[in-house]
Structure 1
Amino acid sequence: MEINQVTVSHDGTKRHLNSVTTAIQKGKVTTILGPNGCGKSTLLSVMSRNNRPAEGQARLEHRDLTDYKPKEFAKKFAIVYQQNDIPQDLTVEKLVMFGRMPYSSLLKKRTQEDEEAVIWALACTNLLEKRKQNLAALSGGERQRVWIAMALAQKSEMLCLDEPTTYLDIYYQLELLELIKELNERYGLTIVMVLHDINQAIRYSDHIILMNEGRIVAEGEPRMVITKAVIKEVYGVNAVFHEDEELGLYMIPLNI
């Protein structure tokens, strides 16, 4: 996906994105990072066609996003939002089956291909044993995995996640990020996610887009983007970096 000189303004004066240009690398994990209000989720909303640029263009496979019909686009692009409201009496399996809507029609019955896609998505997210359970019976981390499973059932080439670890405790945050890493490595999925945690972004990303005030400040490999100077500039925080044999590079904030 290519973003070229995209500007988004909600009220005609304040620009939430200001001439943003970037490209999402196929088969990589890209994390959009930055302080609150920097434009992270707005950029993701442009990619998902939920926000149309006032200026510039967003393209997928050399086609403007607006040229795609909804079902056609859904076969290319799936997104998991931070918060999702659904009936709590719905079962895991039924929710995941909604991911097959791009392939359905009023006259078409559920196919063997639909069933296989749902089973595959449940297996990928370790939810097969919970397929008949109601969502209300699941933990927060399990519910987030159900939404990811529904997105996987779409069989899209690109999976986007808007702050997927928000509201989860640290165990489920790491479980979810390990799942995302596995989906990328095993199935070659192109992943784009918005994160707040800088160390998680360093550890789980191939490519980082660092934003501030509606612009891209830096982008590239984590080690090239996350530096003392950049952290001070963007977050106003002094930090030190350490290298661990198991964890790799990680940052410790010191003071403001």
Structure 2
Amino acid sequence: MELQKIMVSHDGKKQHLQDVSTSIQRGKITTIIGPNGCGKSTLLNVMARNHSPLQGKAMLDNKDLVHYKPKEFAQKFAIVYQQNDIPQDLTVEKLVSYGRIPYHSLMKKNEAEDQQAVDWALACTSLSEKRDCDLSALSGGERQRVWIAMALAQQSELLCLDEPTTYLDIYYQLELLELVKELNEQHDLTIVMVLHDINQAIRYSDHILLMSAGRIVAEGAPHDVITKQTIKDVYGVEAIFHEDTELGLYMVPIGI
């Protein structure tokens, strides 16, 4: 996906995105970070076609997003939001099967292909044994994995996750991020996610977009983007960095 000079304003006054240009690298994990209100989720929603830019273009496979039909776009792009309404009396497998809707029409429905995709998505997210469980009986971390499984059932080329670790305790945060890493490495899935935790972004990203006030102020490999100076400039925080043989680079904030 390529974004070219994107500008977004929800009320016609404040510019939520200003002259944003970047490319999402195929087969990589790209993480968007930055302070609250800097435009992270707005940028993700432009990619998802939920926000139409006032200026600029968003392109997927060299085609403007506005020219995609809904089902065609859904076969290429899937998104999981940080909060999702839980349907009543719905099983895990039934919700995951909704990811196959982009492939259905009045004249065409391949039940064998659909079931294969659902089984694969459940296996990838370690939910096969939970397939008959009601969603209401699951933990928060399990529910988030169900939504990811539904997105995987779409078998799209690009998966976006909007703050996927929000509201999860640390165990389920790490479990989910390990799942993201596994999906990328084992299935060559291109992933874009929004994270708040900078150390998680360093550890689980190939490429980072650092945003401030509606702009991308730095992008590149984690070690190049997340530095003492950029953390001070963007977050207003003094930090020190350590290199660990197992964890790699990690940041410790020490004051303001």
TM-score surpassing 0.5?
yes
Q: Contact 2:86 / 2:136 at 8 angstroms: preserved in 1?
A: no
Q: AA paired with 1:42?
A: T
Cα distance in 2 between the residues matched to 1:138 and 1:89: 12
Partner of 1:151: 151
User: Residues 9-68 of structure 1: CA distance to partner in whole angstroms, max 9, x if unpaired?
Assistant: 111110000000000000000000000000000000000000000000000011100000
Q: Distance in 2 between matches of 1:130 and 1:24?
A: 34
Q: What is the 5 A alignment of 1:24-39?
A: 24-39=24-39
Matches within 5 A, 1:106-185: 106-185=106-185
Count the aligned residue pairs: 256
User: Are the counterparts in 1 of residues 33 and 211 from structure 2 also a CA contact under 8 Å?
Assistant: yes
Query: Could you state the TM-score of these two structures normalised by the residue count of structure 1?
Result: 0.99
Pairing 1:69–2:106 present: no
Q: Using the TM superposition, give the Cα deviation of residue 102 of structure 1 relative to its aligned residue in structure 2, in angstroms.
A: 0.3
- % identical equivalent positions: 74
Quote how far apart the aligned CAs of 1:252 are: 0.1
Note if 1:254 corresponds to 2:254.
yes
Distance 2:126 2:170 in 1: 19
Give the match for residue 186 of structure 1: 186
User: CA–CA distance in 1 between the matches of 2:204 and 2:68?
Assistant: 31
Distance in 2 (CA, whole Å) between partners of 1:134 and 1:220 is 42
Aligned to 2:40: 40
In the TM superposition, structure 1's runs of 4+ consecutive aligned residues that sit over 2 Å from their partners are 106-110
When normalised by structure 2's length, the TM-score is: 0.99
Alignment-mate amino acid for residue 95 of structure 1: L
Give the partner amino acid of 2:134.
N
Gaps of 5+ in 2: none
8 Å contact from structure 2 (residues 32, 40) kept in 1: yes
| Structure 1, unaligned runs of 5 or more | none
- The CA deviation at 1:105 is 1.7
Residue identity matched to 1:158: L
The one-letter amino acid of 1:161's match is L
Amino acid aligned to 1:104: H
SS of the counterpart of 1:15?
A: coil
- Residue 86, structure 1, aligned to residue 58, structure 2: no
Contact 2:2 2:58 in 1 (8 A): yes
What's 2:213 paired with? Answer: 213
Equivalent position SS for 2:41: helix
CA deviation vs aligned residue, 1:216-237 (integer Å, no higher than 9, x gap): 0100000000000000000000
Output the CA distance in 1 between the equivalents of 2:75 and 2:127.
Answer: 23
The structural deviation recorded for 1:110 is 5.0
- Between the aligned partners of 1:60 and 1:107, the Cα distance in structure 2 is 28
Q: Residue 203 of structure 1: SS of its match in structure 2? A: helix
Matched, 1:55 2:55: yes
Counterpart residue number, 2:17: 17
Secondary structure of the 2:249 match is strand
In structure 2, distance between residues paired with 1:110 and 1:84: 28
Moved more, 165-174 or 87-96: 87-96
Shift of 1:108: 3.6
Q: Check if 1:99 corresponds to 2:125.
A: no
